[in-house]
Structures are given as C-alpha cells and as structure tokens.
Amino acid sequence: MIAEAREVMTIQTRLKGGLAVALLAGIAGSCGGEAEAVDGGNDGILIEGTARVINVETSTLETTEFVELIRLTGIAVADQDVTISAEESGVIRRIVVDQGTTVRAGQALFEIDAAILESQVAEATAQAALANETWGRRKRLYEEDQVGSELAYLEAKYTAEQMAARLAMLETRLGHTVIRAPISGVLETRLVEVGTMVSVGTAVGRVVSVNPIKVAAGVPERYAADVAVGASATVSFDVLELSMDGTISYVGATVNRMNRTFPIELEMPNSGGVIKPEMIANVAVVRRVVADAVVVPRETLVRVEEGYVAFVVEGWGVEAVVVSRSVAVGPSQRNGVVIESGLEPGDRLIVVGQQQVAAGDHVNVVGTR
C-alpha cells in the first residue's frame, strides 16, 4: 500500500484539431516507493513514467510525374556569321547600306569604281563581234564555196571563241565590282569607307543572321547516353526574363579533353532579334521522365549509416506514433527526390520535426501540407 501520494500531475495538450493528447502521471512513494500508472480517462493516454510528445507537421504522399533535367550554362550564337570579302580590286566608290541595316541575300552593299573595266568590256564586246563575224564569213566560204583553207577556217573559229571567253571573263569581273550580301541578315560590321583601296580577298564587312538563333552548351560526358538530336530543352535568359522551349539540333561527336564535355546546339526562333549573340543562357535538357513517382523534399530524409530513412506517422489522435522507414532514393531535381522503395502513396510523411523524432515516439500533428 502506498503510504502517501506526493503528486498526481495531468498534462493535457490539445491538438491543432482540438484533440486531447497526453496525460503524464507519476506517483512517488515514500522512501523506496515505486511509481504507479494513473489512468487519465478519455482525455489522455496511459503512459508509465515520463514520455515525450513532439509537435510535427505531415504531408500525405501522392504520385506525380517527375522530370529529371540536365542543367547547363550556354551561350547564344548567330545562325550564320559571314565575313564579306572583295572579289575585285579597286577603290570603293559608294557605300550602298550602312552597318546595322537588315539586308537580303544578293542585295548590293558596296560598289567598287568600275570605269576601267567598263571600257575593257566595251572593247572586248566589239572584238568578239568582229571575230564572230569573220568566223561566220570564212565558214560559209569554206563549207559552201570551197574557198580558202581549212586552217584559215579553224583559226577564225578559235579567234571568235577566244574573244567570247575574254568578254565573259570581263563581264564577270565587272559584276564583282558590286559587292553583295551573301546571306540575309544584318550588316553587323562595315570595314571600308568611300575611297578605300581593296584587293581581291580584302574583308569589307560582316553579315550576321540571328533568326533563328542558336544556343551552344557543353554537356558533361556522363550524360552522353541521355542526350540526342531532337531532345526537348528549355532555354532562359536572365537578362531578358525570357524563357522558351527548344530542341537539340546538333550533338558533338567528340569530348573536350580539357573539361570533359561534348558540345550541343539548340535552335529557336528570334524574329524580333531580342536575343543577341554572346548572351548567357540557362539550358535545361530533359534527361528522363518518371511517371507516377513518389517525390519528397530532400530535407525530409535523414542520413544514417545504411543510407536514408524517412519518418511517417501511423495512427490518429492520441495513438499517433512515429514509424521509421528505410528508403531507396532515385533521381533528384533541385529539392525533390524520387523514392524508389520504402514509401507509398498515402503515407503521412513528417516534413517538419523529422530531426527531433525517433521510431516509437508519440507525436502531435499540428499541421498538414
């Protein structure tokens, strides 16, 4: 028989939903006395000695589609970037369009003084006409009247053909005195002024095509099996607050020995020319898609010697207790981790307070997410 009950204390904690959680009771006897359990009735739970009740928040797990991305840093590159060179020697006589102008393929950009060539073409035209007439006359005499020698006939024919070839060459050179855009785009750079002397091969300007535009990036070699032409990707530019979808148009065949990456290119529309070559881009390439995946926040997992564990709540109200589950983790993306085994849809995962609990603890669920 207990001589004297020193103290009976009932601690009643209410759940967020209004349920009573726990009753702690202890009876200390006189010298050498033992504690006895006290029944707290319907408002508490029966606990021997002292037990802790921890406030936690939970999230009921559901399946979702998980997209694993390869995140890269890329750079915008012009679709075409062509340096224009002179194909004829002479002095620049006229600047037809200035830099920054949008041009069409074949449009005149610069003109070289062609006065000498024009006179040479006129002379060659007359010479070719005379040679052709002489050949025609000797042909008739030789073939119809049998007058003259075959040698004279062949010499006249050769001279006519030679004059015609010279005329064609001079006309081609005359055409080269007008320097034209090789592609459609923007005359990005003009390298000559009126009066500049140019030779064959002298660079006179640069035309850049930026619609569509390309984004180039390097992919770590470990992803070689996951990246192919046609794969989907998202490209964003921080400076533009712009994001758009694209596809991979090129995958390099070799790995850079310095940084162990292989090159890729993506192509996307740029009708307004807002994206400029050399801009830094954020590239997210889809590596794989996992359907019906169980995904949990990374911080809800607790690292142990054998791997990872997660804590779930089983039971309700005053019977809510913590259960530890060993989990196998799969791919991750930012803060989300795919759970390959150990957790199932419908489990109530502890998302706040998981670092303070242990298997078997009684918990007070103060919130759900």
Q: What is the pLDDT of residue 321?
A: 94
Cα(66)–Cα(294) distance, integer angstroms? 9
267-286 pLDDT, tens digit per residue, is 999 988 899 999 999 999 99
For range 78-88, the mean pLDDT: 96
Closest CA to 109 of 195, 200, 18, 206: 206
Q: What is the reported pLDDT for 89?
A: 96
Average pLDDT over residues 292-297: 94
Angle CA(94)–CA(96)–CA(98) in degrees, nearest 5?
110
Please tell me which of 30-39, 49-58, 269-278 the model is most confident about, judged by mean pLDDT: 269-278
Interatomic CA distance for residues 83 and 89, integer angstroms = 17
CA distance 15 to 22: 10
Q: What is the DSSP string of 77-111?
A: EEEEEEEEE-SS-EEEEEE-S-TT-EE-TT-EEEE
Topology of domain 115-175, CATH: Helix Hairpins (1.10.287)
- pLDDT at position 10 over 50: no
pLDDT of residue 3: 34
**By C-alpha distance, which of 246, 186, 216, 197 is closest to 74?**
216
The pTM of the full predicted model, rounded to 2 decimals, is: 0.64
135 has pLDDT over 80 = yes
Query: 225-252: per-residue pLDDT in tens?
Result: 999 999 889 999 999 988 999 899 999 9
CATH number given to 57-64+291-368: 2.40.420.20
Q: Which CATH superfamily is domain 70-78+207-290 in?
A: Efflux pump adaptor protein, beta barrel domain (2.40.30.170)
Which has the higher per-residue pLDDT, 44 or 117?
117
SS3 165: helix
pLDDT tier, 131 (very low <50, low <70, confident <90, very high otherwise)? very high
Q: Please indicate whether residue 262 or residue 11 has the higher confidence score (pLDDT).
A: 262
Domain ranges of the chain: 1-51, 57-64+291-368, 70-78+207-290, 115-175
pLDDT score recorded for residue 145: 63
